[in-house]
Amino acid sequence: MSLESEVGVFVGAVLQYFATTVQQAALCGTPHLALNGPPELSDYTGVIRVTGKRSGLVAFTAPRSMLSVMLMRMQETDMSNANLRDLVGEIANTLAGNARRDFGQQFQISVPEAVTGRESRLSYPAAGRPIVIPIEWRNYHARLIVCLR
């Protein structure tokens, strides 16, 4: 599968996630390679480790304000730190899991981990080149980071 097709798989998953879960469309900006160091993280980041035929990570990173509004759209009243971490992990899990439709069963994913804070660091696979897919929803900005070997 070409890099362009792989990115397309994740863009499709993002669009479907927002349309289905919060029932408001998101827009994906132009995907780009993170060439000048690791991609910036937002307040909360959900990380899925990928093993099998491909290895690396899929991460979804978003500001607290965006995640809080998403929870509200899901009729959730608990905006605690624990629930925001849970949501960001579940989004990463769903986007990575949906990619198995195109990548096949050899694309094995971990349970989600969540990290908090913009200063956090993810451990990327050696020689991996993270692809950043900007996501705009309402007036909020999030990113999907895909780094697979």
Q: Please, what is the minimum distance in Å from the beta carbon of residue 64 to another protein?
A: 15
Min. distance of Cβ 35 from another protein in angstroms? 30
Cβ nearer to another protein, comparing 82 with 127: 82
Which parts of the chain are beta strand (E)?
A: 27-28, 32-33, 44-52, 56-62, 107-109, 113-116, 131-137, 140-148
Q: Which of 2, 4, 5, 20 binds another protein (CB under 8 A)?
A: 20
Residue window 56-85: x/- pattern of binding to another protein, with contact defined by CB under 8 A: ---------------x--xxx-x---xx--
Least distance (Å) between residue 120 CB and another protein = 20
Burial of residue 128, with CB atoms counted within 10 A of its CB: 0-12 exposed, 13-18 middle, 19 or more buried? middle
Give the type of residue at 51.
T
Q: Does 117 bind another protein (CB under 8 A)?
A: no
Nearer CB in complex with another protein: 3/74? 74
Q: Which residues of 88-126 are buried (b: 16+ CB within 10 A; e: fewer)?
A: bbbbbbbbbebbeeebeeebebeebbbbeeeeeebebbe
**Among 7, 8, 16, 122, interactor with another protein by CB under 8 A:** 16
Torsion region of 28: left, alpha or beta (phi above 0 gives left; psi -120 to 50 gives alpha): beta
Query: Which C-beta is closer to another protein: that of 100 or that of 138?
Result: 100
Footprint of another protein (CB under 8 A): 16-17, 20-21, 23, 71, 74-76, 78, 82-83, 86-87, 89-90, 93-101, 104-105, 109-111
